Copies of this chain bind each other. A is one copy, B any other.
Amino acid sequence: MHPNRKMREFERRERDILDTTLTLLTGEQWQTISVDKIAQCTGIGKGTVYKHFDCKNDIYAHLLLDNYRQMLTQLKRLAADDHLTGVQQIRGMLVYTLEYHRENVAHQHMHLHFRQKAFREQISSSYLQQLDDTEEQFIEAFEQAVYKGITEGDVNPDIPRETMMAGVSATFEGAIVMLQEGGCCKQQMMQTAEQKDAYINHVVDYMIAALIRQPADKQEKR
């Protein structure tokens, strides 16, 4: 009983650290939050934090992983919903994920941090692998919906899979970058929630259109 209780307390402590960090992240940037501050706000010593995480960025990685898993659950739910057509599933996935990023600025920053080589190289390999695995599952869920769309005759089956995935994932990744407030040159373009919503709709329309369009080589004259 006792060792079990200990373990639960240890895990509760870890949750505390993560929750505290999340709270701090609503008010300031990751870079300005020191480990000492996290420890103090959690009400523990700095050394204790390092009993739970190997390095500062592992805390960040853990939070990101939590978010990824939450999103993945929703994506899988969409993929399993047979009331929807493939294209509707695709649209639902894209809109859900982009809106998630829009609503959760801290997550936006985490995601972009994760794309930095230096960050990926520093976090524990365990976190790196889990994060990559989860992203892989995003893609699988998406491709499943695409396949459904093809069998239903909506998605164009002639688009090479590489071209399609290269385009869609790039557009998606870029949209997250562009959704940042002041994250791009046209600062005034992405301030209000309405503007961001409009942007999400445009970009999703663009991606959907790319999936259902006729093959490009019949139209383009080089």
Copies of this chain in the oligomer: 2
> Which parts of A131-186 form the interface with B (CB within 8 Å)?
131-133, 135-136, 139, 154, 160, 162-164, 166-167, 169-175, 177-178, 180-186
Q: What residues on B are CB-neighbors of A173 within 8 Å? A: 173-174, 177-178, 184
Q: What residues on B are CB-neighbors of A219 within 8 Å? A: 209, 212-213
Q: Is the interface of A mostly helix, strand, loop or mixed?
A: helix
Closest to A132 in B: B185
- Whether B88 lies near A222 (C-beta < 8 A) is yes
Q: What residues on B are CB-neighbors of A115 within 8 Å? A: 112, 177, 180, 183-184
Q: What residues on B are CB-neighbors of A178 within 8 Å? A: 166, 169-170, 173
Closest to A200 in B: B166
Distance in Å: Cβ of A39 to nearest Cβ of chain B = 22
- Whether B202 lies near A160 (C-beta < 8 A) is yes
Kindly state the separation between the CA atoms of A202 and B203 in the bound complex, as whole angstroms: 19
- Whether B136 lies near A167 (C-beta < 8 A) is no
In the complex, whether A71 has a CB less than 8 A from a CB of chain B is: no
In the complex, whether A31 has a CB less than 8 A from a CB of chain B is: yes
Instruction: Indicate which residue in B177, B183, B222 contacts A174 across the interface (CB closer than 8 Å).
Output: B177
Kindly state the separation between the CA atoms of A214 and B214 in the bound complex, as whole angstroms: 8
Q: Output the residue of A120, A208, A216 with the most chain B CB within 10 A.
A: A216
Chain A positions within 8 Å of B, measured between CB atoms, are 29-32, 87-88, 91, 109, 112-113, 115-118, 120, 131-133, 135-136, 139, 154, 160, 162-164, 166-167, 169-175, 177-178, 180-187, 198-199, 202-203, 205-210, 212-214, 216, 219-222
